[in-house]
């Protein structure tokens, strides 16, 4: 099956790059077009003999051409190519930085036939904005699911891998990091910008990774930090979330006392921590890679085989 994919492929760690690898692993042809460098004309031309069009829009990226993006989507649909997006972002409730809440349903990238997202409790909100939404949890690149090598300069009892300068609508991230610094001092470290093999090595070195995501506690949403950490061999304590399938250690969302209690427990119970780490590692490899997710997309879109698409 031929898939035309409009997105950001320049970073090797981007979601689009991981999706592209998964499509190739499944045996499909992928025409990857860099969203801010290609044209609407090239996208339409590539779709003329394609079965699927995937668009992962990056905030602020523009695609020029002789036709507008809205007309590009109309042309693709006239060719009877099935269209979809699969995003990891939270949209509702986030407005201050990029106005993403108020833009839901308005940008042409929302005009795909199927919009898959990791936020499972917002079907009605998406529907009100004219979006055909499907819940699909985040995953990890299957090739990234291996155990890293312990690095002495990365050995800490507690670590957080992610951004501290976070959405102003969710101030608890900064509160959490400050509390962990106060509690653990030099035993705690924040890591930023670590990707791919270096991330696996980090997870092999830190005893307990701390989990958090935007609006932690909302049902049926967790970020890719959970499968990324478990699938790359790390041990994480994550906010308890209704609907969460990965059997990781959890704490009460946005409760620093319970988070610290869980961290201390697993720091003191090495055998139990290691057994749970191994269990989650194997679980993610079996259930939570992007290969699994893209197969589910094909099933939902009734494109499980080449003949099922136009």
Tens-place pLDDT, residues 220-267: 999 999 999 999 999 999 999 999 999 999 999 999 999 999 999 999
Q: What is the mean pLDDT of residues 10-36?
A: 97
The span from the CA of 308 to the CA of 155, in Å, is 50
DSSP secondary structure letters along 1-43: -EEEEEE--SSTTSHHHHHHHHHHHTT-EEEEEETTTSBHHHH
Domains identified in the chain and CATH numbers: 2-139+289-308 (3.40.50.2000), 143-287 (3.40.50.2000)
What is the pTM (predicted TM-score) of this model? 0.94
Q: How confident is the model at residue 59 (pLDDT cuts 50, 70, 90)?
A: confident
Instruction: Give me the pLDDT at residue 305, please.
Output: 54
**Contact present, 140 and 88 (Cβ < 8 Å):** no
139-191 per-position pLDDT tens digit: 999 999 999 999 999 999 999 999 999 999 999 999 999 999 999 999 999 99
pLDDT computed for residue 165 by the predictor? 93
Q: Who contacts 256 (Cβ-Cβ below 8 Å, separation ≥6)? A: 175, 176, 179
Distances in Å between the alpha carbon of 135 and those of 3, 57, 97, 258, 284? 21, 18, 25, 29, 18
- What angle separates helix 256-268 from helix 270-287, to the nearest 10 degrees? 110
How many Å apart are CA 147 and CA 106, to the nearest integer? 42
Q: What angle do CA 204, 210, 214 make, to 5 degrees?
A: 130
């Amino acid at each position: 099956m031929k898939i035309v994919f409009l997105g950001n492929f320049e970073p090797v760690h981007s979601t689009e790059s991981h999706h592209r690898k998964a499509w190739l692993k499944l045996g499909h042809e992928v025409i990857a077009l860099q969203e801010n460098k290609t044209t609407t004309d090239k996208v339409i031309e590539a779709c003329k003999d394609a079965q699927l069009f995937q668009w992962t829009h990056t905030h602020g990226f523009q695609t020029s051409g002789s036709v507008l993006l809205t007309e590009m989507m109309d042309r693709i649909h006239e060719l009877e190519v099935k269209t979809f997006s699969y995003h990891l972002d939270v949209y509702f409730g986030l407005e201050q930085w990029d106005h993403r809440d108020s833009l839901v349903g308005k940008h042409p990238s929302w005009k795909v036939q199927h919009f898959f997202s990791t936020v499972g409790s917002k079907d009605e909100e998406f529907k009100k904005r004219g979006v055909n939404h499907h819940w699909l949890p985040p995953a990890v690149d299957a090739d990234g699911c291996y155990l890293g090598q312990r690095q002495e300069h990365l050995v800490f009892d507690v670590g957080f891998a992610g951004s501290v300068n976070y959405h102003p609508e969710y101030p608890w991230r900064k509160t959490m990091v400050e509390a962990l610094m106060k509690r653990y001092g030099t035993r705690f470290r924040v890591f930023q910008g670590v990707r791919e093999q270096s991330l696996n090595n980090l997870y092999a070195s830190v005893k307990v990774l701390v989990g958090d995501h935007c609006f932690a506690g909302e049902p049926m949403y967790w970020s890719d930090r959970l499968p990324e950490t478990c699938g790359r061999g790390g041990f994480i304590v994550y906010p308890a979330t209704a609907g969460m399938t990965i059997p990781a250690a959890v704490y009460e969302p946005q409760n620093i006392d319970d988070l610290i209690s869980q961290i201390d427990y697993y720091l003191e119970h090495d055998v139990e921590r290691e057994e749970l780490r191994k269990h989650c590692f194997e679980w993610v490899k079996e259930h939570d890679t992007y290969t699994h997710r893209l197969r589910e997309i094909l099933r939902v879109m009734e494109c499980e085989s080449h003949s099922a698409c136009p």
